[in-house]
Amino acid sequence: MGIDYIYPQFEVIRDPVRCINCRLCEKQCAGGVHGFDKDRGCMTTDESKCVNCQRCVCFCPTHALKIRKSDCTFRDNANWDEDTIKEIYKQAGSGGVLLIWRTGKMKEITRDAEQEDDAEDETPAD
Ligand code: SF4
Ligand code: SF4
């Protein structure tokens, strides 16, 4: 797996004093954000999958969880908006392969992909 250069949008903050390792958050999170490390005997977190639904916060019996929007956002830039910068990061993560974003899917630029896109552009609207 390549390096993910995009900082997670949300931070999952777990108070270790309040957490009783009941693993309820792990069962309730559909995104698989929470896990349990048996060797260390503590909860683990993969923040990159969090969508800020707050379900785990509601179910935590000891109020040990907070979900917060990350402070590590992109600075305002006169030339590039946030989505464009994220696309550039994804391109960097691909090893420099040029990618295009069309019809909801990221795909590598190839002669076939360019021809497909040209054909779509030329299709008359109904
Ligand atoms: S639900 Fe709360 S107390 Fe239980 S493991 Fe998760 S954070 Fe800890
Ligand atoms: S806020 Fe939602 S997506 Fe994020 S960790 Fe909690 S349950 Fe999972």
Q: In this predicted model, what pLDDT tens digit does every residue of 37-91 receive, in sequence order?
A: 999 999 999 999 999 999 999 999 999 999 999 988 777 777 888 888 888 887 7
In the predicted model, what is the mean pLDDT of residues 100-126?
61
| 33 close to 47: Cβ distance less than 8 angstroms | yes
- In angstroms, rounded to a whole number, what is the distance separating the alpha carbons of residues 52 and 11? 9
Nearest CA to ligand 1 atom 3: 19
Instruction: Say yes or no: CB of residue 56 within 6 Å of ligand 2.
Output: yes
Q: Which of 108, 110, 81 has its CA nearest to residue 95? A: 108
Residue 92: pLDDT over 70: yes
Report helix, strand and coil shares of the chain as percent, to nearest 5.
30, 20, 50
- Select from 34, 46, 56 the residue to mutate for testing ligand 2; criterion: most ligand atoms less than 8 Å from CB: 56
Interstrand relation of 65-69 and 42-45 (parallel, antiparallel or unpaired): unpaired
pTM of the model: 0.67
Q: Which of 49, 1, 6 has its CA nearest to residue 25? A: 49
∠ CA 10-12-18, rounded to 5°: 160
Q: How far is residue 115 CA from its own chain's centroid?
A: 31
Measured in Å, residue 24 CA sits from the centre of ligand 1 at 6
Residue 104: pLDDT over 60: no
